[in-house]
Amino acid sequence: MDFFGDDESETPGQNTDSVEAEVLVDTTIEDAWALVSEPGWWINDGPLGDHEVERDDNGVYHITDPEAGTWLVEKVDEDPMDVVTFRWYPLASDEFPEESLTTVEVSLSEEKGKVALHVEEFGISALSDDEDEAYQLWENEAGLWDQAVDSAKDYLERR
């Protein structure tokens, strides 16, 4: 029981709109940027970077992973070596519904002699009107980003 209102655990009805993940990586800003500025770097069912990236006439990137299939990602903005913003629809690989896209912001900073890789995805609560389903989607995205930043760390530190 939380008498003081400071229980920050996520439950249905609470903040299911955004997830964050962060990791410290023993790499250079330049190498980290080369990875995270590529649209869809997080879309992998296998080795990181084992996918093809093509941009269509509308500026939408088609990321094709041998196992995960093809996903659509839009690069919204970037400040090189600092932050890059993407939009995508995490529920279906072949759709790009403007009203249901989430925003992914990836930032880099130097910290303790390493590179801090920080990811925040927001707009998740708009993916479903059902509270329980929205919570499940939030949990799925939280797991995705924890895995993605860990994979990025492993990939960058092996280079």
Give the model confidence (pLDDT) of 57-106 as tens digits: 999 999 998 888 899 999 999 999 999 999 999 987 778 998 899 999 99
Structural domains of the chain, count: 1
Q: For residue 11, is it within any domain?
A: no
- Domain assignment of residue 13, yes or no: no
Calculate mean pLDDT across residues 43-59: 87
Residue 6 has pLDDT above 90, yes or no: no
User: Does residue 5 form part of some domain?
Assistant: no
For residue 34 the two structure tokens come to 């080369």
pLDDT of residue 1: 40
- Whether residue 124 is contained in a domain is answered as yes
Average pLDDT of span 130-141: 93
More confident residue, 100 or 49: 100
Q: Is residue 1 domain-resident?
A: no
- Give SS3 for 75: strand
- 3-state helix/strand/coil string of 7-20: CCCCCCCCCCCEEE
Q: Let me know if residue 106 belongs to a domain.
A: yes
CATH number, domain of 147, equals 3.30.530.20
Q: Flag whether pLDDT at 120 surpasses 60.
A: yes
User: What pLDDT, on the 0 to 100 scale, is given for residue 66?
Assistant: 87
Predicted TM-score (pTM) of this structure: 0.88
Q: Per the domain annotation, does 111 fall within a domain?
A: yes
Q: Which of 39, 67, 59, 23 is nearest to 156 (CA)?
A: 23
pLDDT score, position 9: 47
Domain-embedded: residue 50? yes
Distance CA 56, CA 60 (A): 6
Residue 25 is part of which domain span? 18-157
Residue with tokens 């996520």: 10
Per-residue pLDDT at 41 exceeds 70: yes
> What's the pLDDT band for 14 if we cut at 50, 70, 90?
low
